[in-house]
Amino acid sequence: MAKIKVTQVRSLIRRPKKQREIVRSLGLRRMHHTVELEATPHVLGMVAKVKHLVRVEEQ
């Protein structure tokens, strides 16, 4: 399965609770934190919901 790198580039301050939960469930803990995830439909759907807060790079 393909891998993607997800990096948090925008702050979660003053964001709806649902968006904060999605970013946390992706494994991101702070600004400029990067995680490698499998590119499953579930993960890609979460990334799509917070695309304005994260940067995505394909591996």
pLDDT in tens, 8-29: 999 999 999 999 999 999 999 9
| CA gap 2, 21 in Å, rounded | 24
Structure tokens at 5: 């790198």
Average pLDDT (40-52) is 98
Average pLDDT (32-42) is 98
Residue 1 has pLDDT above 90, yes or no: no
The span from the first CA to the last CA of the chain, in angstroms, equals: 11
Kindly report the average pLDDT of the chain as a whole number: 97
Return the pLDDT at 38. Answer: 98
Q: Would you state the torsion angle of the CA atoms of residues 14, 8, 3, 36, taken in this order, to the nearest 10 degrees?
A: -110
pTM more than 0.85: yes
Q: Which CATH number goes with the domain that contains 26? A: 3.30.1390.20
Tally of domains within the chain? 1
Please check whether residue 30 is in contact with residue 11, taking contact to mean a CB–CB distance below 8 angstroms: no
The range of the structural domain enclosing residue 52 comes to 3-58
